[in-house]
Amino acid sequence: MKPVIFGLSGPVLTPQARAFFAECEPAGYILFKRNIVDRAQVRALTDSLRALAGRDDLAILIDQEGGRVARMGPPEWPAFPAGPVFDAAYERAPMTAIQAARANGQALGVMLSEVGITVDCAPLLDVAQPDTTEAVACRTFGSDPMRVAALGRATLEGLAEGGVVGIVKHMPGHGRAKLDTHHHLPTVTATDAELDIDIEPFRTLNQAPMGMTSHIVFDAWDPDRPATLSRIVIDRIIRQRIGFDGLLMTDDIDMKALSGTAGDKAAGAIEAGCDIVLDCWARMDEMIEIAGRLGEISDSSRGRLDRAMASVGQTKGDFADLIATRDALLERA
């Protein structure tokens, strides 16, 4: 097994992709809107991926946060609220907001489980700042670390009850970045003491099964490398100071924050201490390069992957009831 999660080019597996994936055996796959048509098609696609891998516990990811980050949406599936909705509800009624976030997460889990998706790239634990890039600010649970952790925990628990694994992101924190890492490499100049605020939600939820890095340079920790490629940040901050021992994957290595070839970035992330590389765009030449640069997944990383995928049980809950419960709680808050 290669320590990489690959994207797919369309709504079905092409013969070329099928042959390549069978040979290199990636750790999992990630779906985007280009892979989504309707329930029957998505279920058929995920079933084909499991059959190809020969594993029922295959990691099949999607970014389904709510708000602007939603790969499955109307009219086939309902729209979900984003983090700021729960942040605002918490301001009025904290416990009610936490219950709503848990019901929302469980509804997401049930919806994804129905079509064979096993991992949701949520929740964000980024602590918002006044100048947080809009690409992140519109998705966060707010600016209070305790609130972010509480709503993040409820979302993680709900996702697990719905039958999918959640991913906490973007470690060790994206809130101070003023630039969108899809397009630029941000540098954060905050002090180590100031950054303690950013890592607090991740430290509180350090038992999460999966985490995702951020492509951000933190001057206080490693002024030369973004977190994804920094052994200092991954070892000293994420693994030791935060205490996270779950599966650590990169954010999409195709983002413009990172430079170099696809193979360079993938190899650099694994060398820095990431367990898994995330490569989203299904460009065959780049996937071949990545597979050629990466060895087999390490025993420790495979153990973390297996533990993460075993962390959830059977899907629980009725989708319509969960949506109704969430909406009633948000209205009451």
Kindly list the catalytic residues.
Answer: 182, 251
d(CA 215, CA 251) in angstroms, rounded, equals 7
3-state secondary structure at position 313: coil
List phi, psi (to 5°) of 160: -65, -40
User: Is 262:286 a contact under the CB 8 Å cutoff?
Assistant: yes
Please state the three-class secondary structure of 52-72 as a single string. HHCCCCCEEEECEEECCEECC
Of 18, 209, 35, 46, the closest CA to residue 115 belongs to 46
Of 299, 287, 296, the closest CA to residue 29 belongs to 287
3-state secondary structure at position 271: helix
User: Is 189:165 a contact under the CB 8 Å cutoff?
Assistant: no
d(CA 228, CA 268) in angstroms, rounded, equals 8
